[in-house]
Amino acid sequence: MQINRRKFIKAAGVATVSAMLPAKGLSGGMPAENQPSGKSLKKIYREAYKKHPQKFNMCGYAAPKLETVRVGFVGVGNRGSAAVERISRIEGVQIVAICDELTGHAEKAKARIQTPGHPALVYSGKEDSWMEMCRREDIDLVYVATPWEWHAPVGIYSMRQGKHVALEIPAATTVEDCWRLVETSEETKKHCVILENCCYDFFELLTLNLARHGFFGEIVHAEGGYIHEIGESLFFRGKPGRSWRLNENMRRNGNLYPTHGLGPVAQIMNINRGNRMEYMVSMSSDDFLMNQYAKELSRKEDYFRQFEGASFRGNMNSSIIKTIQGQTILIQHDITTPRPYSRLHAISGTKATAQKYPLPPRLSVAEDHKEWLSEEKFREIEQQYNPPIIRKMQAIAQEIGGHGGMDFLMDWRLMDCLRNGLPVDMDVYDAASWSVIGPLSEWSVANRSAPIDIPDFTNGAWKENQPLDISLKDGGTTGVVTL
């Protein structure tokens, strides 16, 4: 879904929305000489903590339970429309509104609803259609799948209208928008959930539960990434209205998509819950491929000539994070190099190791660390340590689908938490701290990979916050609507 910034300001009023617009500070495209120094960044962060003192701790907060979760969608292109279909299968959920700038998209998404009982009203055709939808009093959750730079503004507006929000990744693209999400969630006591589906892949959940049971010993190092060759598709083959992701890759240079790799390992390391990310460095290669794509495509169609000679981000970005407990995290991002798909997930501890990609899921233990455990032994451990959410939902998640079932598992778990009045698995501090790696990586890349501090969005509450509980406790009662 495209949202025109000029039209948005005109529709909503400059005074009302100026604080919500995508911020420029510490954002991509800023020349290195105009970026703040490491020393001045510490001053910026100190001022940020004063400006955004914690008003209420959203970690572990259980909002009042909802018998029926009434959902409105903003942005129903590829991801948003798939979410409409999945969520229509969840018990105790009612889809009441669907909004997209393109009426055809909204109508097609509505047609994907799988079950009766969803009085989905389409909002489209007006400059402020999404804001009109968010002001409805009969919506509990706004599910946002717009272009990236609008995730935070739409989320902030929705929370101020009294709605919980679920934001596609990344939740924000600037440091200041990360702070705004935190401040708004705390002020309104509305959940701001980042829709990081990789946290619900089955091996990632297994390794999380293994970590909870001490299988790895002390965690020393973790790796995560998103390496997926989609280079030519970024140009959308001459569809100007869908070039927003290409624009992101032209004006920003860093890890633009960090949360797939970071989210699962952050949960394992108890980030924001007894641990936190302290600082990071980031390095990008040059661009060896995107300009070449532009040249090749321009020979086929004149539309693409505008991209020849453009400045694209480096193809491979590697960012390294140090935690306050002394651990390291490697996060990689590459969507253009021709290599096999990898969503690297590796956990290295004093007693055991886990890794997925490029190999299938593997485990090794210190006593025999030069070899991976046999398939038989792996299955024994999997059977013993698979968390309750997998035991309960794996089969139905795989049947309904969405990246092998993890999309549906993510949606189901969110609805189950809202219906049972449970704390959400991924709160606003996760949304902010995982997403902020994007703009911080841009700063580091622009400053010869200099280290940069990572804000503590919990304002010190991480010391007392409790680790994520995946036992389901009193939850797990939500079912699935059968066809």
Residue 110 lies in a domain: no
What sign results for the dihedral spanned by CA atoms 85, 431, 199, 236?
positive
Tokens coding 49: 């903590």
- 8 A C-beta contact, residue 379 and residue 385: no
Per-residue confidence (pLDDT) for residue 61, from 0 to 100:
97
How wide is the angle at C-alpha 194 spanned by C-alphas 400 and 338, nearest 5°? Answer: 75
Query: 348 phi and psi, to 5 degrees?
Result: -120, 120
**Upstream peptide bond of 423 is cis (omega within 30 degrees of 0):** no
Residue 401 lies in a domain: no
Helices 78-87 & 103-111, crossing angle to 10 degrees? 30
Per-residue confidence (pLDDT) for residue 12, from 0 to 100:
39
Alpha-carbon gap, residue 424 to 329, rounded angstroms = 24
Range of the domain at 253: 199-386+429-463
Residue 256 lies in a domain: yes
Tokens coding 220: 């020393």
Query: Which CATH number goes with the domain that contains 363?
Result: 3.30.360.10
pTM assigned to the model = 0.91
Between the CA atoms of 245, 256, 360 and 336, what dihedral angle is there, to the nearest 10 degrees?
A: 60
Per-residue confidence (pLDDT) for residue 298, from 0 to 100:
86
Strand partners, 123: 99
Per-residue confidence (pLDDT) for residue 1, from 0 to 100:
53
**CA neighbor of 106 nearest in space, from 132, 134, 139, 129:** 129
Residue 106 lies in a domain: no
| Total domains present in the chain | 1
pLDDT digit string (tens) for the chain, length 483 residues: 544 444 433 433 333 333 443 433 343 333 444 455 555 666 766 777 777 788 999 999 999 999 999 999 999 998 999 999 999 999 999 999 999 999 999 999 999 999 999 999 999 988 899 999 999 999 999 999 999 999 999 999 999 999 999 999 999 999 999 999 999 999 999 999 999 999 999 999 999 999 999 999 999 999 999 999 987 778 775 455 567 888 899 889 999 999 999 999 999 999 999 999 999 999 999 999 999 988 888 888 888 888 888 889 999 999 999 999 999 999 999 999 999 999 999 999 999 999 999 889 999 999 988 899 999 999 999 999 999 999 999 999 999 999 999 999 999 999 999 999 999 999 999 999 999 999 999 999 999 999 999 999 999 999 999 999 888 777 889 999 865
Per-residue confidence (pLDDT) for residue 26, from 0 to 100:
41
Residue 226 lies in a domain: yes
Query: Which residue type occupies 177?
Result: D
141-144: strand order across its sheet: 121-123, 93-99, 69-74, 141-144, 164-167, 192-194
Alpha-carbon gap, residue 127 to 132, rounded angstroms = 10
Per-residue confidence (pLDDT) for residue 398, from 0 to 100:
95
Residue 480 lies in a domain: no
- 8 A C-beta contact, residue 373 and residue 381: yes
Residue 361 lies in a domain: yes
366-389 CB burial, b ≥16 within 10 A, e <16: eeeeeebbeeeebeebbeebbbeb
Between the CA atoms of 65, 69, 75 and 79, what dihedral angle is there, to the nearest 10 degrees?
A: 90
Tokens coding 359: 């190999």
Residue 137 lies in a domain: no
